[in-house]
Amino acid sequence: MVELKVTNRGVCVPGFMAAGVKRGKYGVALIRSEAPAKASVMLTSNKVKAAPLLVSKEHVNNDIFGIIANSGNANAFTGDAGMEDAREMCSLAAKLLGGKAENYLVASTGVIGRRLDLATVERLANEAARSLETSPKASEAAARAIMTTDTFPKICSVEVELSDGSRYEVGGIAKGAGMIAPKLSHATMLCFLTTNARLEKEEMDEALAKAVEQSFNRVVVDGDTSTNDFVVLLANGSAANDSIEGFQEALNFVTQTLAKSIARDGEGATKYIEVRVLGAVSDSDANLAARAVVGSNLVKSAVFGGDPNWGRIIAALGYSGAEVVPEKITLYVGTKGDERRVCLVEKGKPLALEGTAELKAAEEVLRQKEIYITAELNLGRGRGEAYGCDLTYEYIRINAEYTT
């Protein structure tokens, strides 16, 4: 284990610059590496993939100088014209930041099926390029530029000190509040990660896959998998480290912090929900069960209403696909750190029934802003987690009016 020092640089770790501008519904973010970087990407599993993802996939094995991203339009389901627009965004980045179009990755988020307003993107990109710098402020500006229904920017970075005294950093920004149920393969959610660590491409791909599985793939806001979900890791090697000790741990920390921020900022959300499943036959079973519970609209609605309707949690465990024996389930609901924890069901026996102290205590827990549900399946040693939020009237309003 290495010690991680949390910093506030986001994507602006040493060797990287950023900028962002938001005007009305459109925003543009730029990220620039001071040296050619290697890239690793993970794309949505949705069979309808947005044009920017397809273009970025074409470029990923090149030397990457940076990323250009826009909010306000997803450039998804836009056919050949959309592909041309995505490539034009890469050309624009090259014109502003140097290199060639194929040295850039591109991402978009917003309304599906509408043609991108390239004139607006170009105007905002030109404005952003003039403020490109290495600073926490620049990283935050980039994070804000890609927000859509988000209410706050998602930023995280950590520094790793190696045993020989050398250091490297890992940082990132993300956006996402609705259309969140990422299933990234090889989440609308965007995440841009940077590191000055020296890594081989194979090491990056393996580390990113592991990090995404324990972070973004465990978030469920509304059960919808976007056409634009995209995670990028850039590594420019400027730290010249001889070891990648601690890199997986650092990347896991950054991605999990950003993932939990997305869950907390779910569209219209008033409460954060974290589900932990213990004692499953395997870790994969535990994660399957946890995701089913946190993704249940009935569980989400009950949490919003402060109703400790534990039967909905039991039902979600039962249909999750995980191995479950009803008589062995123990179920708790609590607050952060389990400072308040109430047993609702003990080895198949319901405790939180009408008129009981357990039900009253559970009602008090569900009045809090952060709710932690723990299910012990008592079948093995598998452990898993998932992150989400409640389902509110405001979520319906936001999505009913999204294009109007």
* DSSP character string of 11-79: T--TTEEEEEEEETTEEEEEEEEEEEEEEEEEEE--SS--HHHHHHHHHTTS-EEEEEEEESB---S-H
Contacts of 78 (CB under 8 A, 6+ apart): 51, 85, 113, 114, 115, 116
Instruction: Say if residues 40 and 201 touch (Cβ distance below 8 Å).
Output: yes
Question: Catalytic pick from 120, 188, 227, 257?
Answer: 188
How far is Cα 114 from Cα 117, in angstroms, rounded to an integer?
9
CA neighbours closer than 13 Å in the CB half-sphere of residue 356? 13
Burial of 404 (0-12, 13-18, 19+ CB in 10 A): exposed
In the annotation, is 335 catalytic? no
Nearest residue to 377 via CA among 328, 305, 340: 328
Q: Are 153 and 147 in contact (CB under 8 A)?
A: yes
Which residue bears the tokens 């479950």?
Answer: 324
User: Which residues participate in catalysis according to the annotation?
Assistant: 188
